[in-house]
């Protein structure tokens, strides 16, 4: 069986990727420093604790497991924090990724699947983003991810490193079997915040801005089910194995849901009302951001089977009720 090194494999998306990789016949080796990940989420292959900024540790793990590819999820991802602590994001996201890429090349591991973000595009309000949309990141999170994309291109030219890059917006849902799920501290994602509010784990959900030019006044975002997302990453790995060359893919539904639509669907799925407060708009929040996925569907053969709002919420609710990694 082929081994794949999964950085951030103890996190939300990474743990789901490890399950998908195992189901596809790979051995996923999780590399994680457990700063934001959870040891209990590592269930589908070996675990190696370490930090991306520790090159010696990376070299040791590559030598021990000899992976055929890297699937790179590990990153800091809070936009507010990126605005106030940009140096931390450049050091971790870009510097750590450079260490990882150099270690992979040194080990002869030349297939690289990178979890990027549509934050690299910056502010393009009310348009469907595609892979040709200009990249104009607004903060150190998007900029640090964009820089890694550039590094991958340079290392392809110099060393033959092949990469598949995925850019996506909001990830939601959970493993339908509830073996792994979404749990952040602090929690910032809308679906788990909604579920916390209707379950009494927080007093109320705050809706930031109700005067947007949308049907219900709240802003619209694209959501993709985490299982569909990681399925695309496995397809990306297989794309590289078939020697089709480096490529960039957006992942999304192309439509999007408003904050109120998410709240209303959560109430419908759970049978509970969502207590909420209304607050002012947050600086930098756009009216509508959606990500087109025509290339992923037509070229990669990706089929987002579970990215319907009711399914994403139902799966998240099942996970929510099953207990978390840490109380």
- At 295 the pLDDT is 94
Which domains are present in the chain? 3-172+223-251 (3.40.50.720), 190-222+254-322 (3.90.25.10)
- At 325 the pLDDT is 61
Each residue of 44-99: pLDDT tens digit? Answer: 999 999 999 999 999 999 999 999 999 999 987 777 677 778 888 888 788 999 99
Q: How far, in Å, CA of 45 to CA of 40, rounded?
A: 12
- At 123 the pLDDT is 73
> Which residues belong to the active site?
141
Residue 105 has pLDDT above 50, yes or no: yes
Phi-psi region of 233 (alpha: psi -120 to 50; beta: other; left: phi over 0): alpha
- At 326 the pLDDT is 56
Q: Which residue has the higher pLDDT, 323 or 3?
A: 3
**Partners of 257 in the β-ladder:** 221
The tokens for 18 are 């490890």
Helix (H) or strand (E) holding 26: none
Residue 291 has pLDDT above 80, yes or no: yes
Each residue of 106-163: pLDDT tens digit? Answer: 999 999 999 998 878 777 666 778 888 888 877 888 899 999 999 999 999 999 999 9
CA 142 to chain centre: 13
- At 327 the pLDDT is 46
Q: Residues with Cβ < 8 Å from 70, sequence gap 6 or more?
A: 4, 5, 6, 7, 100, 104, 109, 111, 112, 113
| Percent of residues, the chain, with pLDDT higher than 90 | 61
How many Å from the N-terminal Cα to the C-terminal Cα in the chain?
Answer: 36
């Amino acid at each position: 069986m082929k081994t794949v090194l999964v950085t951030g494999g103890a996190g939300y998306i990474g743990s789901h990727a490890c399950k998908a990789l195992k189901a596809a016949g790979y051995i996923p080796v999780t590399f994680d420093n457990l700063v934001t990940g959870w040891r209990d989420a590592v269930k589908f292959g070996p675990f190696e604790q370490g930090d991306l900024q520790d090159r010696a540790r990376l070299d040791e793990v590559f030598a021990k497991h000899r992976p055929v590819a890297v699937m790179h999820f590990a990153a800091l991802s809070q936009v507010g924090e990126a605005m106030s602590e940009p140096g931390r994001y450049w050091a971790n996201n870009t510097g750590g990724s450079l260490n990882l890429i150099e270690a992979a090349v040194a080990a002869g591991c030349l297939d690289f699947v990178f979890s990027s973000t549509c934050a690299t595009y910056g502010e393009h309000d009310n348009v469907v983003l595609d892979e040709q949309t200009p990249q104009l990141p607004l903060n150190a999170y998007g900029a640090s991810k964009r820089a890694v994309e550039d590094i991958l291109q340079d290392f392809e030219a110099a060393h033959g490193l092949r990469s598949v890059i995925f850019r996506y917006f909001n990830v939601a849902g959970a493993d339908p079997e509830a073996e792994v799920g979404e749990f952040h501290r602090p929690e910032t994602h809308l679906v788990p915040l909604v579920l916390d509010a209707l379950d009494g784990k927080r007093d109320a959900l705050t809706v930031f801005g109700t005067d947007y030019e949308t049907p219900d006044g709240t802003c619209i975002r694209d959501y993709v089910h985490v299982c569909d997302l990681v399925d695309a990453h496995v397809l990306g790995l297989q794309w590289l194995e078939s020697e089709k060359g480096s490529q960039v893919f957006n992942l999304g539904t192309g439509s999007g849901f408003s904050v109120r639509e998410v709240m209303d669907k959560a109430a419908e799925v759970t049978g509970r009302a969502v207590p909420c407060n209304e607050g002012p708009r947050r600086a930098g929040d756009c009216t509508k951001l959606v990500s087109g996925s025509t290339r992923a569907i037509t070229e990669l053969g990706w089929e987002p089977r579970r990215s319907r709002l009711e399914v994403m919420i139902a799966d998240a609710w099942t996970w929510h009720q099953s207990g978390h990694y840490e109380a």
